[in-house]
Amino acid sequence: MGTSWSLHAASSAPGLAAGVQAAFGRVTRQMSQWEPDSDLSRFNRAPAGEWQSIPPEFAHVVAAALEIAAASAGAFDPALGAITERWGFGSAGPVARVPGDAPAAERRVEFDAANSRIRRSEGAALDLSGIAKGYGVDLAAIWLLGQGVRHFLLELGGEVRGEGIRPDGQPWWVDVEMPPTASIPPWRIALHDLSAATSGHYRRGFVADGRHYSHSFDPSTGRPIVSGVASVTVLHRDCMIADGWATALTVLGPQKAIALADAQGLAAAMVVGDREHVSREWRAMLG
């Protein structure tokens, strides 16, 4: 997945690292933009309008992505693949200059849950990078729990899931990553059967003509976000849901994002400049 991972487990069972790596590998083989033979890459190359059968894990992530897309009124858009490719955040690699605006085209991905198949409109290409990494954490965590490993902290590229407690009886404490330009002290969170995902515009991007262009895109404009949001952290039982919603909320300004988090019952914290904005559920967890 182009990043590192770590596991802290209160277990001496053999083969844990190999099992976790195998779970991540399954996600990569199915949902990676960068693997030309992945199910996602083959779907994006297939003719528009034709139904394509997909594996159950892939279908599970597509269903969640489309649910978040609908609930966020399109702030999360899994059909942005053609746009992210044009801006140098896909398999083709970085671009030398800022691309011009692409011709308007319908971006639509349809999911037939009963038959586990999807199809796309001509202007759509799947990009699940805003949610698949979180699912990878969940898939590996489910495997660990199935092996009888009840107490562990699993991290993949900044997305984290904690199960049970540490051997010393303490919860799994993690510090939320803060943007490098912020002077705000990091939140410290106890992950007990809980996941945390952070989306930040500073993590990936490029500079052109003295301006930083983020890897986070506003689906309404097809361009990198200009909301002023530096980072969003979401807590949820499932890392996939935390990951997807962190991506969606990053697109919105602080007022709309926090209002949406409150409406969805999400524990979310946002950094804008040197100011923090938190949802009701986040404040309730502080108590």
For residue 244, is pLDDT > 60?
Answer: yes
Indicate the pLDDT class of residue 219, thresholds 50, 70 and 90.
confident
d(CA 141, CA 155): 10
Burial class (CB in 10 A: 0-12, 13-18, 19+), 202: middle
Mean pLDDT score of the chain, rounded to an integer? 89
pLDDT of residue 46: 95
d(CA 196, CA 151): 16
For residue 201, is pLDDT > 70?
Answer: no
CB atoms within 10 A of CB 30: 22
52-100 pLDDT tens trace = 999 999 999 999 999 999 999 999 999 998 888 876 676 666 665 666 6
For residue 111, give the nearest of 76, 71, 67, 72 by alpha carbon. Answer: 67
Q: Which of 102 and 130 is assigned the larger pLDDT?
A: 130
Lowest mean pLDDT among 59-68, 184-193, 206-215, 269-278: 206-215
Residue 13 token pair? 């069972």
Lowest mean pLDDT among 46-50, 52-56, 220-224, 259-263: 220-224
Lowest mean pLDDT among 20-34, 142-156, 212-226: 212-226
Mean pLDDT across 12-41:
95
pLDDT of residue 118: 98
HSE of 178, CA atoms in CB hemisphere, 13 A: 16
Residue 133 token pair? 């990494």
HSE of 20, CA atoms in CB hemisphere, 13 A: 23
Please give the span between the terminal C-alpha atoms of the chain, in angstroms, as a whole number: 36
For residue 245, is pLDDT > 70?
Answer: yes
For residue 165, is pLDDT > 80?
Answer: yes
For residue 207, is pLDDT > 70?
Answer: no
d(CA 238, CA 278): 20
The pTM of this model reads: 0.91
Q: Which residues make Cβ contacts (< 8 Å) with residue 95, sequence separation at least 6?
A: 86, 87, 88, 206
43-56 pLDDT tens trace = 999 999 999 999 99
